[in-house]
């Protein structure tokens, strides 16, 4: 879901969503990167931390 779609659902601005997601990424130790999508990195970290689940490769 895009920042714009989230903002529309919550009746806030795109800028507010961007600010909050950047704060969440910072708390998780995920600085901005040209090489990695931070939203994907968050999902992968979640899946790896969830008991009984392992990340599939290849």
Question: Helix, strand, coil: what percent of the chain each, to 5?
Answer: 60, 0, 40
- Model confidence at 58: pLDDT above 80: no
1-48 pLDDT tens trace: 899 999 999 999 999 999 999 999 999 889 888 999 999 999 998 898
**Residue in 33, 36, 35 with CA at minimum distance from that of residue 45:** 36
CA 10 to the chain's CA centroid: 17
Instruction: Give the model's pLDDT for residue 57.
Output: 56
pLDDT band at residue 56 using 50, 70 and 90 as cut-offs: low
pTM (global) more than 0.75: no
């Amino acid at each position: 879901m895009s920042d714009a779609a989230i903002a529309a659902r919550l009746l806030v601005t795109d800028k507010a969503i961007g600010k909050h997601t950047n704060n969440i990424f910072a708390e998780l130790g995920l600085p901005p990167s040209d090489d990695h999508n931070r939203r994907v990195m968050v999902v992968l970290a979640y899946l790896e931390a969830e008991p009984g689940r392992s990340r599939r490769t290849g």
